[in-house]
Amino acid sequence: MPKIIPFKAVRPTRDKVSLVASRSYQTYTQAEREARLDYNPFSFLHIVNPGYKYAHEITGEERYTLVKNRYLEFKEDHIFVQDKKPSYYIYKIVDREKQVFHGIVAAASAEDYEKDIIKKHEDTLENRETVFKDYLKTVGFNAEPVLLTYPDNTIIASILKNTEKERAEFEFTTTYRDTHYLWKIQDEATIKTIAEEFNKMKTIYIADGHHRSSSSYLLCKDLKKNNPKHNGTEPYNFFMSFLIPESELRIHEFNRLIKDLNGLSKEAFLIKLDTVFRIENRGEIPYKPSKKHHFSMYLDGEFYSLYLRKTRYTFKNALDALDAQLLYTTILQPILGINDLRNDNRIKYLNGKKDIINLKSMIDSGEYAVGFGMVPVNINEMKKIADDGLKMPPKSTYIEPKLRSGVTIYEF
């Protein structure tokens, strides 16, 4: 049932792809960003940070317009070239730990998102949806695909394996020591087979990119409404995606940091926690939980382990049993007064790939009062919640692989 189609990607030329490709803008430190912007004129960061050349911070609609201008300049200078025929793109990543991810970059249907053929498992932050929709509407392209996952498929796996025997269109290694490869599939018979195999699937799932997919859907609604000749084939009806088999996903947790104790003293806070959790003070030694329904907490220079008192909590569905939801319903909302996880600025999310020392240092600095850690969600939990039409709290999963921006670009 999912409609997954080939498209004409805009791509860097082979000799410049390693210079163009970048991580998400927010993942760089200021020093890293400035070094790349100062010494690499081909970096995609020049497009997403167009004000750098003027040494001026630019925001909102003005920034979006300049992003589009920089993008058009990259095309005019033939740094970017668009493929002449619609293609599927096989993308493979071998990371520094020798984990291998490979899948297909293609265009997924916004209508499938609306009809829940592309299933969501995580709630989104409303302001981010709107901001990114407006950004897409102005710039007219998407350079970072949504990560979708599908049940392992032997026919698609065979196509990937055979294609990867050929010389790659792109092959480059990043400073993170991840090696990226890209192959182009233009053969009509192979394209037909891939499309048919996806169409046989009942559903596919968003693994990472809920905000990007939601914003693309909102954009589609806007443009469809304002196009009297809309016929469903326009590029805005689709969004760029990277589809990988479920067995290759790597799922990490997101930890939570809270700015204050909601007016409570440390002692009063611990007493309230004791109602629902068995608490053990672990001292200054960093502690991470190893089981579901167990949490780590860092407060006032000390780590604690929190063990759920199961007699005080009832699991009515798959969402209730999710640790991110459990943390919200037992601590964040009733004790710390955080009702709106989508918009409350008292909470920050820190992905679990970062060392627990990162969480500790942010609290020790005084910027935050308390932090919580949990174990990662697994793929079956994620699918069960999506299948039941439920939504995880925002930032419940940090999922790999992470693609580089600017390697394939989808225009609409």
For residue 380, being part of any structural domain is answered with no
Query: What's the whole-number mean pLDDT along residues 248-255?
Result: 92
For residue 407, being part of any structural domain is answered with yes
404: which DSSP letter? Answer: P
Regarding whether 262 and 234 lie in a shared domain, the answer is no
Under 8 Å between Cβ of 250 and 376: no
Residue 56 has pLDDT above 80, yes or no: no
Regarding whether 277 and 192 lie in a shared domain, the answer is no
Regarding whether 307 and 199 lie in a shared domain, the answer is no
Please give the sequence-ordered ranges of beta strands (E in DSSP) within 253-361, or none if there are none: 254-258, 277-283, 294-299, 302-308, 347-351
Regarding whether 176 and 33 lie in a shared domain, the answer is yes
For residue 392, being part of any structural domain is answered with no
Regarding whether 127 and 46 lie in a shared domain, the answer is yes
Tokens standing for 389? 């039409």
Regarding whether 246 and 260 lie in a shared domain, the answer is no
For residue 68, being part of any structural domain is answered with yes
Q: How many domains does the chain have?
A: 2
Bond prior to 6 in cis (omega within 30° of 0): no
Q: What is the CATH number of the domain that holds 283?
A: 3.30.1760
Q: Which of the residue ranges 84-93, 171-180, 389-398 would you say has the lowest mean pLDDT?
A: 389-398
Regarding whether 64 and 184 lie in a shared domain, the answer is yes
Kindly indicate the confidence band of residue 139, based on its pLDDT and cuts at 50, 70 and 90.
very high
Residue whose C-alpha is closest to residue 371's, from 286, 259, 239: 259
291: which DSSP letter? Answer: S
For residue 387, being part of any structural domain is answered with no
For residue 391, being part of any structural domain is answered with no
Residue 112 is predicted with a pLDDT of 97
Regarding whether 239 and 267 lie in a shared domain, the answer is no
Regarding whether 129 and 180 lie in a shared domain, the answer is yes
Domain with 278 in it:
254-375
The enclosing H or E element of 4 equals strand 4-5
For residue 274, being part of any structural domain is answered with yes
Prediction pTM value: 0.87
Regarding whether 94 and 195 lie in a shared domain, the answer is yes
Regarding whether 304 and 224 lie in a shared domain, the answer is no
Q: At what angle do helices 60-76 and 126-139 cross, to 10 degrees?
A: 40
Regarding whether 301 and 267 lie in a shared domain, the answer is yes
Residue 354 is predicted with a pLDDT of 75
